[in-house]
Chain A
Amino acid sequence: MEEGRAERRRRTEALSHPQGGTRRAGVMTDVHRRFLQLLMTHGVLEEWDVRRLQKHCYRVHDRTGAVEELEDFINNINSVLESLYIEIKKGATEDDGRPVYALVNLATTSVSKMASDFAENELDLFRKALELIIDSDTGFASSTNILNLVDQLKGKKMRKKEAEQVLQKFVQNKWLIEKEGEFTLHSRAILEMEQYIRETYPDAVKICNICHSLLIQGQSCETCGIRMHLPCVAKYFQPSLEPRCPHCNDYWPHEIPEVFDPEKEREAGPSKVSKRSLRSRQH
């Protein structure tokens, strides 16, 4: 009874406060609102773009204010977003660990951004590609294999030529990445769909042994089979001279990538030749 009354009162209060939470929600100003609007427009942004975006929002709405530390700035906004079941999520690109940010739904049943941009048969094509990617060893699905499933699509009949264009549309909208005729998930898709993927494909899904997040591309131990993201491998093995599997202690047979550091000059990703051989060894 008391609870009902108190709950009701809390609800009619300013909606910025999360229900029943003892943590005080942050305060939204136009700086934060413009930031959210622009982040929504772009879908996903790399960290350096996010910092520029933040500074831009301050310049427009609060020229004299001190620019808050990015992590606090985002946590502040997230505390307000909590009651809307969305959050600004930080992830990293699976190939070289560049930090990226996207606005994602916390509930998987919510209206999806993809669903509004694509037709029924296009969404089904994406689903087919997604399943192939998740089932694969390398995290990549070949264009040929995806296109061979064109006859099984729901909705209006789609020709292979058309399907090729649709796959390109997915690449342009940052849902898929293409490399040498093969497709994998863009970091945006991983950020937005991780929960959905884990719930829908609990048996096929791969998890990183270090960060315990969804894994699409990575390296695996040839002895015990555990998998790790490339940036997680880089961080975990950074100080060690002789890399060993964290699970079975066997020698780690793969090339250890470098930790992402925007200040340091380095080879921007492995060269084409070694990349191919790397991928065939990585599982």
Chain B
Amino acid sequence: MLQKPESEALPILQAEGEKDGGRDGETQALTASQKEVPSPLLQETPKEDLGARREEGAAESALTPKGVRTLAAKALARRRAYRRLDRTVAELVQFLLVKDKKKSPITRSEMVKYVIGDLKDLFPEIIARAAEHLRYVFGFELKQFGRKHHTYILINKLKPLEEEEEEEEEDLGGDGPRLGLLIMILGLIYMKGNSARETQVWEMLRRLGVRPSKYHFLFGYPKRLVMEDFVQQRYLNYRQVPHTNPPECEFSWGPRSNLEISKMKVLGFVAKLHKKEPQHWPVQYREALADEADRARAKARAEASMRARARARASASERAGIGPW
């Protein structure tokens, strides 16, 4: 049904100057496919009630061949208009859901610009239908605030979760348990002096009841998770140990692990697991303290340079004469 968008650029990935990824092309592509259809919404006055046009059609005689053709054409055009209206409502629903994910309020003018286009006189009906879909299908309420500015937000109407239900929900999508497994591995690596042999990692996991090639209800295939996903996501480094025969491989912390977690935190986790204090392992504890000091220094340096840059910018704008005076 949709025309291939040859003149229009790729609708989904097209971005024309807008950071959001230009939806102009998208609504254009929709109208392109509808171009061949003379929609009554465009030709006749769009303010007209669609039902009124039905009355108009009834007045014409249906009995002459020309009359029948005209009626049929009108009915077809009307059907297409309704379809177009439905499509616009559906697009608006998706637009609102996507925008709401970013937690920013949506304005009426955005909706008209990116979705509704020349149907903007039907805005009240379109937004009312969209709101009903959002409520019935997704459990969101479309709330308007600032009547003057026509801004909208979505409110979740589903009942709030109990604490344990919230935890359960966080576990879903695999991230929770998978990251738990990752921390176990990071802990092992750290306690073994910042690198651990592959065999040691699988040995530890086997003791936890996790076998590399046995599909696990929380981790999927653990071997794939550890050897592929964690390595690709830069949580772990995996390399062959030189001069080993038969060749052995080892894991170490990947750059992303260093960014997202610290040695002190991992040591704390290991300590809790063994029901001891971090100081129980003096070597690792000293190393973690040094790491904390490094991080604090790096943070202070970054903040200082940011302040310096801000000062430079302020004095530059002063010199340029920008300011209230």
Contacts and interface: CB of A to CB of B under 8 A. Distances in A.
Residue among B14, B99, B161 with max Cβ neighbours from chain A (10 Å):
B14
A49 B172 contact: yes
22 contacts: A4-B54, A7-B82, A33-B158, A40-B97, A49-B174, A81-B137, A84-B137, A110-B94, A112-B13, A113-B98, A114-B12, A115-B15, A115-B22, A115-B23, A116-B20, A120-B19, A123-B14, A123-B15, A123-B21, A127-B13, A179-B232, A262-B215
A120 B22 contact: yes
A48 B78 contact: no
A80 B78 CA distance: 24
B320 to A, nearest CB: 24
A23 interface: no
B75 interface: yes
A168 B234 CA distance: 10
A268 B13 contact: no
Contact of B173 (A14, A45, A112, A154): A45
B138 interface: yes
Contact of B79 (A7, A30, A118, A202): A7
Contact of B139 (A33, A155, A177, A178): A33
Residue among B2, B138, B168, B213 with max Cβ neighbours from chain A (10 Å):
B138
A34 B232 contact: no
Contacts of A123: 13-15, 21
B274 interface: no
B221 interface: yes
B217 interface: yes
Given A42-B173, A45-B173, A109-B30, A19 B13 contact: no
A30 B160 CA distance: 12
A28 interface: yes
Nearest to B219: A48
Interface string A72-110: 000000001101111000000000001000000101111
Contacts of B20: 115-116
A84 B215 CA distance: 36
Residue among A28, A45, A107, A264 with max Cβ neighbours from chain B (10 Å):
A107
Contact of A116 (B62, B82, B99): B99
A154 B211 CA distance: 47
A110 to B, nearest CB: 5
B29 interface: yes
Interface string A25-68: 00010100110111011100110110011001001110000000
Interface stretch (B84-92, B145-153, B201-209, B285-293): B84-92
B47 interface: no
Contacts of A5: 54
Interface stretch (A193-201, A217-225, A230-238): A193-201
Contacts of B169: 38, 56
B294 interface: no
Contacts of B213: 265-268
A40 B214 CA distance: 29
B188 to A, nearest CB: 20
Interface string A201-220: 01000000000000000000
A42 B170 CA distance: 11
Nearest to A156: B19
Interface stretch (B128-136, B179-187, B191-199): B128-136
Q: In which size bucket is the chain A interface?
A: 35 or more
B57 interface: yes
A172 B71 CA distance: 55
B269 interface: no
B87 A107 contact: yes
B158 A34 contact: yes
B58 A111 contact: no
A158 interface: no
Q: Which 5 A-B pairs have the closest CB atoms?
A: A115-B21, A120-B15, A268-B221, A33-B139, A112-B12
Contacts of A38: 169, 172-173
A265 B221 contact: no
B37 interface: no
A124 B159 contact: no
Given A49-B173, A179-B228, A262-B215, 18 more contacts: A4-B51, A30-B139, A33-B139, A37-B138, A45-B172, A52-B171, A83-B133, A108-B11, A109-B2, A110-B94, A111-B94, A111-B98, A114-B12, A116-B21, A119-B15, A127-B10, A171-B233, A268-B213
A155 B136 contact: no
Given A49-B172, A85-B87, A4 B13 contact: no
A15 interface: yes
Contacts of B211: 265
Interface string A254-280: 000000001111111100000000000
Contacts of A59: 165, 168
A46 B232 CA distance: 19
A109 B138 contact: no
Nearest to B4: A199
B12 to A, nearest CB: 4
Residue among A119, A200, A268 with max Cβ neighbours from chain B (10 Å):
A268
Residue among B95, B139, B161 with max Cβ neighbours from chain A (10 Å):
B139
Nearest to B93: A84
